[in-house]
Amino acid sequence: MSCVTTDQAAPGTTDEKAIDVQGLRKAFGELEVLRGIDFSVARGEVVCVIGPSGSGKSTLLRCVNLLEEPSAGRVMVAGTEVTDPDVDIDRVRRRIGMVFQAFNLFPHLTALENLTIAQRRVLRRDRAEAERIARANLERVGLGDKAAAYPAQLSGGQQQRVAIARALSMDPELMLFDEPTSALDPELVGDVLAVMRGLAQEGMTMLVVTHEMSFAREVADRVVFMDGGVIVEQGTPEQVVGAPRHERTRTFLARVL
């Protein structure tokens, strides 16, 4: 039973892998986007995924929380096999914070309300508790004074920080980020990266698709380079960004650095 599997994977169990992907394949019709991916993320680890546009980075992230259904392979999240047909995927997703390039805030709700709605509906927290947690998380991302603001009244960087605070309010065990700063004006990128750096320092498990090589260099425990639906190489930032072994990695880095 899926609920049993989920319970066994509660925090504090012996499974040290937050994410474990084996033989993952994904095709859209004829198009093979992921062609056999094997990798894992340990608890507390920060892994950055880099690679050219179209290499399958977003699809990989979306397969981890089953926004896309893998064509083949096994995906484990915190000890639960999300590719098990019987899995309670809502329950697994609740443990995963996801931050996208587009902030996806509700435009008709204030920052505070954006943070409380899922807490109340999904986690069944009462209003007072949800608001207390929301305010603490707005504080955490440096927006304690923006609780009453609507998304349109906030800069892109502030909206993205609200989106991060919203994910944090659900007490995620791990966070997935898909190019969280790509839609931002350059001067707004730093504040968002600073929040992410803080989370990493607090020990949050993070899988981050990014083109921010300085962030990957400073913050990642491991960098994964993808191209054409496969992992071409992975290792420490010093290895992959500093001394890439593969020509394809060097070509990519020459374009983004």
List residues binding ligand ADP (CB under 6 A).
Answer: 28, 31, 33, 51, 53-59
Binding site for Mg ion (CB under 5 A): 57-58
H or E segment to which residue 73 belongs: strand 72-77
C-alpha to C-alpha distance for 88 and 67, rounded to whole angstroms: 13
Compute the least distance from the CB of residue 75 to ligand ADP, in Å. 15
For ligand ADP, which is the closer residue by CB, 98 or 162? 98
Residues 114-136, buried b or exposed e (16+ Cβ, 10 A)?
A: bbbbbbeeeeebeeeebbebbbe
Compute the least distance from the CB of residue 36 to ligand ADP, in Å. 15
Residue 53 contact, options ligand ADP, Mg ion, none, Cβ 5-8 Å cut-off depending on partner type:
ligand ADP
Looking at the DSSP bridge assignments, the partners of residue 235 are: 223
C-alpha to C-alpha distance for 8 and 1, rounded to whole angstroms: 11
Compute the least distance from the CB of residue 49 to Mg ion, in Å. 9
Q: Are 64 and 82 in contact (CB under 8 A)?
A: yes
Residue 242 contact, options Mg ion, ligand ADP, none, Cβ 5-8 Å cut-off depending on partner type:
none
Compute the least distance from the CB of residue 16 to ligand ADP, in Å. 27
Short-list 65, 58, 67, 68, CA closest to 80: 65
Compute the least distance from the CB of residue 253 to Mg ion, in Å. 18
For ligand ADP, which is the closer residue by CB, 57 or 125? 57
Main-chain phi, psi angles of 19, to 5 degrees: -135, 135
Residue 54 contact, options ligand ADP, Mg ion, none, Cβ 5-8 Å cut-off depending on partner type:
ligand ADP
Residue 14 contact, options Mg ion, ligand ADP, none, Cβ 5-8 Å cut-off depending on partner type:
none
